[in-house]
């Protein structure tokens, strides 16, 4: 199970997942100013919000963190930003929802939470 970092909640595995990632390429520079083919690529960062299942495009994606499947959670009050728009002409103000932490990582207004905890915070709906 440890070889899977992400999975589709409906598939129960990650074999159908696709994602966008930032990649640094190195290789011969072509005449058009772009890298010629056969460059060497190094993945920099997978865009987590681009991960999706080819069979279930709308399914929840879960991530394995320290031996537990987690779901992405963002604060419903502020949409994970930590700030709430006061609406013109009032300034934005800090989200009043209490910042919380999990055993895995600090979770202020968004972050990966163990599945059970994420479901509990979402009010039991998925």
* Residues of this chain that bind Zn ion (CB under 5 A): 8, 10-11, 53, 55-56, 75, 77-78, 95, 97, 109
Alpha carbon separation from 67 to 5, 25, 32, 63, 114 (Å, rounded): 10, 32, 47, 10, 10
CB nearer to Zn ion: pick between 75 and 118: 75
CB nearer to Zn ion: pick between 35 and 60: 60
DSSP string, 62-106: EEEETTEEEEEEE-TTTTTSSEE---TTSPPEE--SPPEE-SSSE
Q: Shortest distance, CB of residue 111 to Zn ion, whole angstroms?
A: 11
Q: Shortest distance, CB of residue 47 to Zn ion, whole angstroms?
A: 18
CB nearer to Zn ion: pick between 25 and 105: 105
CB atoms within 10 A of CB 98: 8
Q: Shortest distance, CB of residue 55 to Zn ion, whole angstroms?
A: 5
- Report how far residue 52's alpha carbon sits from residue 49's, in angstroms, rounded to the nearest whole number: 8
Q: Shortest distance, CB of residue 66 to Zn ion, whole angstroms?
A: 23
CB nearer to Zn ion: pick between 63 and 109: 109
């Amino acid at each position: 199970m440890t070889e899977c970092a992400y999975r589709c909640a409906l598939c129960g595995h990650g074999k159908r997942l696709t994602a966008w990632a930032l990649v640094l390429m190195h290789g011969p520079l072509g005449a058009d100013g772009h890298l010629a083919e056969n460059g060497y690529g190094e993945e920099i960062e997978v865009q987590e919000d681009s991960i999706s299942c080819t069979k279930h495009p709308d399914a929840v994606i879960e991530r394995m963190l320290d031996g537990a499947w987690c779901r992405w959670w963002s604060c419903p009050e502020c949409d994970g930003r930590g700030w709430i728009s006061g609406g013109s002409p009032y300034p934005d103000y800090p989200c009043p929802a209490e910042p919380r932490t999990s055993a895995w990582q600090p979770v202020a207004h968004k972050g990966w939470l163990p599945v059970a905890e994420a479901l509990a915070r979402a009010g039991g709906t998925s």
